Amino acid sequence: MRGDRAFVIVVAVLMAAFVAVFCTLPRSRYSELEKRELRTFPAYNAAALRDGSFTAEVSNWFSDSEPFRDAFMTASMQLKSWMAFKPLRASKESVTFHAPEPEQAGEEPLVEAEPAAVEPAAAPVMRNQRDIQEYHHDVDANAKMENAGVIVVGSAPTARALMAFKNKNKGEKAFAKVVNAYRQVFAPDVTVYCMIIPTAVEYYCPESARSCTQPEFPVLKELYSLIDTAVQVVDLYMVMGEHLDEDIYMRTDHHWSPLGAYYAARQFAEVAGVKVPDLSEFDRQVVEGYVGSMYGFSKDINVKKSPEDFVYYTPKTASYSTTYIKYQLDKDYRITGEERPHQGDFFVKMSTTGSAYCTFMGSDARITQVVTEVDNHRRLLILKDSFGNAIPGYLFNAFEEVHVIDFRYFTHNIKQYVKDHGITDILMANNLSHVCSGGIGAAYQRFLNQ
Amino acid sequence: MVFADLFFLFVFLPAFALCYLLAAWIDRRKAKAGAVSFGWRNSLLVLFSLIFYAWGEPVYVLLLLASVIVNYFVGLGIDRPGQRHRKAALVLGLVFNLGVLATFKYLSFLCSQLAAAGLPVPVPRIALPIGISFYTFQSISYLIDVYRHTTPVQRNFRNLLLYISMFPQLIAGPIVRYGTVAGEIGNRKVDAHDLSEGMMRFLRGLGKKVILANQLSEVSSQLLTGAGLESLTTAGAWVGILAFTFQIYYDFSGYSDMAIGIGRCLGFHFNENFDHPYCCNSITDFWRRWHISLGTFFRDYLYIPMGGNRRHQAFNILVVWMLTGFWHGASWNFLIWGLFYGLIVMLEKYTLLRVAHRIPRWILHVYSLLLVVIGWGIFYFEDFGQMTHFFRAFFGGAAFSDFAAVDALRSYGWLWVAAVLFCLPLRDWIVRGTARWTASRPAWAFAARSILAFLLLAVSVALLVGATNNAFLYTRF
């Protein structure tokens, strides 16, 4: 064919251009989209070469730390989104959310979910924390399944990504057992509270996609029935349900929002008999253009194109000091050492927008101790997963000290810690997915004996 | 190492291409007047092939080398005069090759079955050397062809090593007969047309794998594994297995295209491995179009020597198909898959093929594709519990549809359209239909080809970044 020689040159130049990009430009070290450190070149050793792991790691390093990785991934997601049949979805691009009261299902007017005005609701009414009723709500929007069990509802610029709830490990019984064990170990001097945080999928999943996730309500009901009556349950299922028309969960992240955490903290304060100030007593801080972890999980361009404001609240009046004991980690997030205690800020200014959720304490891998000016002989220990990070900032007017420990990063004995620091209240604040995973219960059990 | 990998594309392949050009220059300088030499190029090809294999199998590269050494000497033995010697050498070679295959591929399976039956048999844990089924079959074809005097024996060890280990077809075929490339090992010619055809073929294969097969694998695995399988509906079963039907075709034929393309750039002309199999009119026709190199291997080296259609034809067919299935893996589902096709091919021989000319073609298509899709259902599930669960849903024993099934169709809508279209001989139609136009406007034809090449490469690279499902399905066989 005529032009063969020219075609060969074109392809050779194209290949050379890609080789130049991939082999000569600086490699990416961190992916903002995936919120993770990228692989580094593996250390050589003869055994790794023999068993093939060295060469496999070299290939993985090369394929994981490409120059402009995030740009390539964005292009990749855009290409994938073009594979969808758009015309079929055009009629339901916006998300309409119907959020009736549980007793009055179907009678509430329609409320637009996005954007929501953030007006703090009235103070909660105390109720029996275990007597919960299922919300029958409906979200009227298109949805699609994406990678890693993520359901994407609606489309840019207001897409919402939901992590499907799959109770595969059925760890709720083991978790309840551990909560009861804490109550037994620490009674009567320490009050144990259990806050199980429902995830966004329970409230915001469209009916059409319900088959892709399991309901959280029955699991919560079961958990409440398994937890000893002497444990103070802090129910959030109803609390969150009352605020669904506000931004209580992030749309692009698997976490809740600081506003959701505020309502949770207020509910906890009611149960614990302390006071949390009105939201107007806090300064409103805004990180604009936030895109959370769900883009990395879902790899859906609609999520990337639906940035939101990350709004958090810092106390106006409370005076406090924060001390951290940081854990040193290896590349697989295993603890390799513990640093000496040092002072720091509780609210950390993050260098990138995408890591805004790390504003609270900067990371999970640390023990945090906040000393306030409150004088009520109440000292709180929060045992939490990352959802719990957003709670402590609201409690600096309520406790003398607030201690925070993550279930993944604690190497001491919890009984000794409670004794040494004169803890009077333990709040176990974890999201339901973690609670059911089994791992978190095992970790808290280990804390008692390590 | 696999072809659809950024390290292969942008480190291994360019490094090889540069070294190969250098070797070609040295060969030209060292060749005597009027003669051609491929010594440096062939040595370099062997070296890179061994690196390619050792990258994934650092220890099993020794097995590959040992296999070639044995086959080299067996080949020389077969070539010695004297019928008894020749036959003995052939038998020795076959026992060795099949023994290696049986040990590394089937021994663990056999022992586990015996242990499951209650016999006190230890189950060895032997990792399957990648590509062993392909290079063992190539070795067997070499020995038999030498025995039959179809091809001359290879006396140069490096050249035999080159034939067996050549990286374009080493780990997932096509199964290249020695006779196909014997002449080209010592003397081959590459011009701009070969290079341009080879490059385009390679890029087409890359596109098939990365753009089509990898995306379809997301659909099939979402519906047919884990929680998706547990809640499988009838529509989900159909959508999932249709996705796998397209996935395996684009995955395997994409690999074959890339192998054929690289081979062409080096001056080798491998035989085609696929001929639009989903356009078949019968299952017999399907197997003439699917994995042609395996089908012809079994036909020439087993079916015909067993008597072919001259005696015990039904028995011969069943044995050949059972072994064809078993070649794909040490698992009962592959055996059943082979027998499933064996039975259909046998039945067709006595029924359908005799009256096919009187049946509308679309009915034959639907009939064939339905059976092919059912076949992939058997092929997909190595676990019988999962297979039963799948077929119950497939035949209506589950809820009709759910969100996952509808979403898989909608979210990948254009992918499905492309998957169906590219199963057809679309390229042939376009080339034929535009022949006059391209001849009169060569600049436009060149521009169109260049843009297509750019798009295939750029889109594939973008989709490869962050992808985790790049392994080719057939490399595990």
Which helix (DSSP H) or strand (DSSP E) does residue A206 occupy? Answer: none
- Do residue B292 and residue B397 come from a single domain? yes
Q: Is A9 on the interface with B (CB under 8 A)?
A: no
pLDDT value of residue B93? 95
Give percent of chain B with pLDDT exceeding 90.
66
In-domain check, residue B14: no
Spatial separation of the C-alpha atoms in residues A426 and A405, rounded to whole Å? 11
Determine, for residues A72 and B465 on separate chains, whether the beta-carbon distance falls below 8 Å: yes
Mutate to test the interface with A, among B1, B8, B10, B258 (most CBs of A within 10 A): B10
Residues of A in contact with B415 (CB under 8 A): 83
Average pLDDT of chain B, as a whole number: 91
- Let me know: does A253 contact A294? Beta carbons within 8 Å: yes
Give percent of chain A with pLDDT exceeding 90.
55
- Let me know: does A239 contact A124? Beta carbons within 8 Å: yes
Q: Which residue has the higher pLDDT, B333 or A89?
A: B333
In-domain check, residue B204: yes
In-domain check, residue B15: no
Residues of B in contact with A6 (CB under 8 A): 446
Q: What is the dihedral of CA A277, A282, A286, A292, to 10 degrees?
A: -30
Q: What is the pLDDT of residues B224-250, one digit of tens each?
A: 988 788 889 999 999 999 999 999 999
- Do residue B200 and residue B51 come from a single domain? no
Residue A85 is nearest to which of B58, B414, B443, comparing CB atoms? B414
Per-residue pLDDT at B154 exceeds 50 = yes
Calculate helix-pair angle for B60-79, B83-101, nearest 10 degrees.
Answer: 160
Residue labelled with tokens 């972890």: A293
Determine, for residues B7 and A144 on separate chains, whether the beta-carbon distance falls below 8 Å: no
- Do residue B86 and residue B235 come from a single domain? no
How far apart, in Å, do the first and last CA atoms of chain B sit? Answer: 15
Determine, for residues B403 and A211 on separate chains, whether the beta-carbon distance falls below 8 Å: yes
Q: Which of residues 192-221 of A touch B (CB under 8 A)?
A: 208-212
Domain with B353 in it = 194-476
Chains A & B: contacts with CB separation below 8 Å: 152
Backbone region of residue A36 per phi and psi (left: phi > 0; alpha: psi in -120 to 50; beta: other values): beta
Rounded to the nearest 5 percent, the helix, strand and coil shares of chain B are 75, 0, 25
pLDDT value of residue A113? 39
Per-residue pLDDT at A271 exceeds 80 = yes
Angle at A124 between CA A122 and CA A130, to 5 degrees: 155
Nearest chain B Cα distance for residue A85, angstroms: 5
Q: Which residue has the higher pLDDT, A157 or A108?
A: A157
Give percent of chain B with pLDDT exceeding 70.
97
Of B165, B180, B206, which residue sits at a domain end? B165
Per-residue pLDDT at B35 exceeds 80 = no
**pLDDT band at residue A103, thresholds of 50, 70 and 90?**
very low
- Do residue B117 and residue B213 come from a single domain? no
Residues of B in contact with A82 (CB under 8 A): 414
pLDDT value of residue A390? 95
Q: What is the pLDDT of residues A324-358, one digit of tens each?
A: 999 998 877 888 889 999 999 999 988 788 888 99
Closest alpha carbon to A160 in A174, A181, A143, A180: A143
Spatial separation of the C-alpha atoms in residues B214 and B196, rounded to whole Å? 26
* Bridge partners for A382 per DSSP: A404, A427
**pLDDT band at residue A121, thresholds of 50, 70 and 90?**
very low
Residues of A in contact with B419 (CB under 8 A): none
- Do residue B413 and residue B289 come from a single domain? yes
Determine, for residues B403 and A143 on separate chains, whether the beta-carbon distance falls below 8 Å: yes
Average pLDDT of chain A, as a whole number: 86
Per-residue pLDDT at A248 exceeds 50 = yes
Spatial separation of the C-alpha atoms in residues B168 and B257, rounded to whole Å? 10
Rg over CA atoms, chain B: 23
Nearest chain B Cα distance for residue A208, angstroms: 6
Q: What is the pLDDT of residues B262-291, one digit of tens each?
A: 999 999 999 999 999 999 999 999 999 999
Nearest chain B Cα distance for residue A436, angstroms: 16
pLDDT value of residue B1? 83
Q: What is the pLDDT of residues B71-118, one digit of tens each?
A: 999 999 998 887 788 899 999 999 999 999 999 999 999 999 999 888
Contacts 24+ apart (CB under 8 A), B414-420: B414/A82, B414/A83, B414/A84, B414/A85, B415/A83, B415/B212, B415/B215, B415/B216, B418/B211, B418/B212, B419/B212, B419/B216, B419/B246, B419/B250, B420/B246
ipTM of the complex: 0.86
Question: Count of CB atoms within 10 A of residue B248's CB?
Answer: 20
Residues of A in contact with B459 (CB under 8 A): 79
**pLDDT band at residue A115, thresholds of 50, 70 and 90?**
very low
pLDDT value of residue A245? 87
Per-residue pLDDT at A193 exceeds 90 = yes
Per-residue pLDDT at A105 exceeds 80 = no
**pLDDT band at residue A84, thresholds of 50, 70 and 90?**
confident
Q: Which of residues 270-329 of A touch B (CB under 8 A)?
A: 299
pLDDT value of residue A117? 39
- Let me know: does A397 contact A265? Beta carbons within 8 Å: no
pLDDT value of residue A112? 37
Q: What is the pLDDT of residues B369-407, one digit of tens each?
A: 999 999 999 999 999 999 999 999 999 998 898 888 888
pLDDT value of residue A108? 37
- Do residue B60 and residue B138 come from a single domain? yes
Number of domains into which chain B is organized: 2
Closest alpha carbon to B273 in B344, B203, B168, B373: B168
Query: In this structure, what DSSP letter does residue A125 have?
Result: P
Per-residue pLDDT at A89 exceeds 80 = no
Per-residue pLDDT at B470 exceeds 80 = no
Per-residue pLDDT at A118 exceeds 80 = no
- Give A58's Cβ-side CA count (13 Å radius): 15
- Do residue B161 and residue B198 come from a single domain? no
pLDDT value of residue A70? 86
Determine, for residues A59 and B454 on separate chains, whether the beta-carbon distance falls below 8 Å: no
Structure tokens at A218: 């029955």
- Do residue B112 and residue B259 come from a single domain? no
Residue labelled with tokens 């640390």: A366
- The question of whether B269 is a catalytic residue gets the answer no
Closest alpha carbon to B154 in B48, B74, B53, B96: B74
User: In the predicted model, what is the mean pLDDT of residues A424-438?
Assistant: 93
Residues of A in contact with B393 (CB under 8 A): none
pLDDT value of residue B143? 95
Per-residue pLDDT at A111 exceeds 50 = no
Active-site residue among B312, B328, B357, B389? B328
In-domain check, residue B35: yes
- Do residue B108 and residue B203 come from a single domain? no
pLDDT value of residue A223? 93
In-domain check, residue B185: no
Per-residue pLDDT at A109 exceeds 80 = no
Calculate helix-pair angle for B413-421, B403-411, nearest 10 degrees.
Answer: 70
User: In the predicted model, what is the mean pLDDT of residues A366-392?
Assistant: 94
In-domain check, residue B8: no
pLDDT value of residue A415? 95
- Do residue B226 and residue B369 come from a single domain? yes
* Bridge partners for A371 per DSSP: A321, A401
Per-residue pLDDT at A110 exceeds 80 = no
Rounded to the nearest 5 percent, the helix, strand and coil shares of chain A are 40, 20, 40
Residues of A in contact with B200 (CB under 8 A): 7, 11
Nearest chain B Cα distance for residue A414, angstroms: 37
Closest-CA residue of chain B to A1: B193
In-domain check, residue B207: yes
- Let me know: does A306 contact A251? Beta carbons within 8 Å: yes
Structure tokens at B329: 């893996």
Closest-CA residue of chain A to B443: A3
Per-residue pLDDT at A125 exceeds 80 = no
pLDDT value of residue B472? 64
Calculate helix-pair angle for B332-350, B361-380, nearest 10 degrees.
Answer: 160
Backbone region of residue B267 per phi and psi (left: phi > 0; alpha: psi in -120 to 50; beta: other values): left
- Do residue B145 and residue B236 come from a single domain? no
- Let me know: does A142 contact A93? Beta carbons within 8 Å: yes
Structure tokens at B247: 């996935």
Spatial separation of the C-alpha atoms in residues A399 and A222, rounded to whole Å? 31
